[in-house]
């Protein structure tokens, strides 16, 4: 349960930061080397995100 809450919080933080900068999901996925569907899963809190992807997002 705790892990699910943390994934939701992280996903919301990624989405908020992306939207604040006016970047589309498609563009952000290209910038981070991920797919748009994987980015959607991250932002919705349903993906297990690896440290390598976190570093690209940061």
Question: Token pair of 13, please?
Answer: 């933080």
Please tell me the pTM assigned to this model.
Answer: 0.88
41 CB-near residues (< 8 Å, 6+ apart): 47
**Number of domains making up the chain:** 1
53 CB-near residues (< 8 Å, 6+ apart): 32, 34, 42
pLDDT in tens, the chain (58 residues): 479 999 999 999 999 999 999 999 999 999 999 999 999 999 999 999 999 999 999 8
Q: Give the pLDDT score at 13.
A: 97
Alpha-carbon distance of 51 to 22, in angstroms, equals 24
Domain that holds residue 30: 2-57
Alpha-carbon distance of 27 to 5, in angstroms, equals 27
Q: Give the pLDDT score at 2.
A: 77
Looking up residue 10, the CATH number of its domain turns out to be 1.10.260.40
């Amino acid at each position: 349960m705790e892990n699910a809450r943390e994934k939701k919080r992280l996903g919301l933080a990624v989405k908020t930061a992306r939207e604040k900068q006016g970047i589309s999901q498609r563009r952000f996925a290209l910038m981070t080397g991920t797919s748009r569907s994987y980015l959607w899963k991250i932002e919705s809190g349903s993906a297990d995100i690896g440290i390598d992807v976190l570093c690209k997002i940061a």
